[in-house]
A and B are shown apart, each in its own frame.
Chain A
Amino acid sequence: MVSSNTLHVVSTEVTVGSFAMAGLAFMLAGIASHDLLERRRWLPLADHVGHFALAFGMLAMPVAILTGIASSPGEGVDHPVLINKMFLASTSFGLALGVVLARWRHGRGLWENEWGKRWQSLGGMMAAGLTLLTASLGGTFARGESLLDMLHLPYDQVPLMPVLLSMVLIVAALGNLWVARSEA
């Protein structure tokens, strides 16, 4: 038998490693697509690596979340750091899925679009950054310290919205997705 703690470590390493690689690839893709440093030839490689790594990280992320909940002491999410981890992971997952779906929908031509390439590289890097921040919170929760402690982020404060506002956002987002799907 393998404990949920061990599985959480494994799945977290897969998730964080994939997202870190994706973040780096999206940075290179951003540089290449803007013809900076005369590295246009990097674009196809960075494009494929970034999106594949992001997609693989997204496959491992639910496993990391499930094993994380199973290995945390107590019942449910009863610590502000755990709640913030959940929020950051959800935000990162949504952004990463958006980045991958946008690439799938608009194809390679997305990198030829002046604003599209900026949003794509920024979106990929932000998804990676949010996942790294989530992992940093895990270090703070488990060991009381993390590399990103130097940023002095308010881990103990939970920005919780009323359920009604969350429901409004959910309905608005679903409506947006439905309209976008109809237009496609």
Chain B
Amino acid sequence: MGRWTVLLMTFALLLSPSLGSANPNGVGGGNQDMQCGGACHGDADQNRSSAATVTVEGDTVAYQGLLTSVSVTIEGVETSASGTLGVFLLSSLTGANDLPSDHGWVVLSNSEGEDGNYVERNVPSGTTEQTVTWTLRAPLDTGTYTLHGAIHHGSTNGGQSPYYGQSTTPLTISVVEPPEDLPRLAEDYRPPTSRLLGEDAPLSFQTAFVTEATVEYRLQGGSPVTVQAVSSGEDTWTFDLPVALQPSVVEWRVTLVGEGPDQVTPWFQVRQEAPGWSVDENAAYAQSLALFLTMLAGFLALQHRSARTVQAKHDAFNQLVQGGEE
């Protein structure tokens, strides 16, 4: 067997375990189907049933194209030592086309201050209940829709089994046409999901059929504070949120008043965080390659030069010896 074959086989053997690795620390929040990109939690041949109870709750009636909120509550939470719990909001449990967006829903925000149907939480030890809330824009077609909750997690006493759980009863929502003069947020309005620490710019929102707007905001789990939104143009309103000094999630909702019946929006979540660190990754990868090749070529050139100097000395010595003999 050639040495290159042995080298390649050794490298392949060293590399092969990483191909079958799991993700006990999760894959991060975002848009994920129930199978979560082929995760073993969604594979019926590999997973185990979670003992947790998953309940999905929300309004049973929503206006087409307008906002509503849905919560998934998990009782009897169990996780692996890392404490990671993955929570899904799904539009079906078939494992295919199960994102809410596949059935016309638009996820605007969730209680982690993100805008995906999948949320990962780090559950503190001893916590047995978790609730995740999503704010959704209802489909533009009227009809009856269902939403489901599902969870992925590990366990400290179940070996390394991937656990999967789902809500036993779906939330059934009737999407109906709104009254024509219903006070509402503008159809294309997307509430912000993040804000930098120290930022003091006012938040704004656009509306339709609204003559007055009152905003309530609160830290998650705290008491709400009420402020009056100020009109800053046609169908545009602004209000001030206090400047955040440390990372947190603040929730706000608005009561819209107009000719039609008053409307209260769902709670919107805004993650307040420090500015992220970023770098030009292409420049970093190019520099890594440059460092690798420069060190390789530089060292080989150095040794080549040393060897040549010695060879030149030997040649000169031999010439001297041969000259003397003649």
- A interface residues (Cβ-Cβ under 8 A, vs B): 1-5, 7, 11, 14, 59-60, 62-63, 66-67, 70-71, 73-80, 83, 86-87, 89-91, 93-95, 97-99, 101-102, 105-106, 110, 113-116, 119-120, 123, 158, 160-163, 165-167, 169-170, 172-174, 176-177, 180, 183
Contact = CB atoms under 8 A, between A and B. Distances in A.
Given A90-B291, A115-B306, A102 B18 contact: no
Interface residues on B, range: 35 or more
Contacts of B15: 62-63, 66
A100 to B, nearest CB: 10
27 contacts: A1-B40, A2-B21, A3-B22, A5-B24, A14-B14, A67-B18, A67-B21, A70-B21, A77-B279, A90-B291, A94-B296, A98-B303, A101-B296, A102-B303, A105-B300, A114-B310, A116-B303, A116-B307, A119-B299, A158-B279, A160-B287, A161-B283, A162-B283, A170-B286, A174-B293, A176-B297, A180-B300
Given A63-B14, A99-B299, A173-B297, A163 B283 contact: yes
B290 A102 contact: no
Contacts of B22: 1-4
Nearest to A92: B295
Given A5-B25, A80-B277, A174-B293, A123 B299 contact: yes
Interface string B14-52: 110110111111001000000000001000000000000
B280 interface: yes
Contacts of A174: 293, 297
Contacts of A74: 28
- Classify the secondary structure of B's interface with A: helix
B301 interface: yes
Nearest to A127: B295
Interface in B157-201: 160, 162
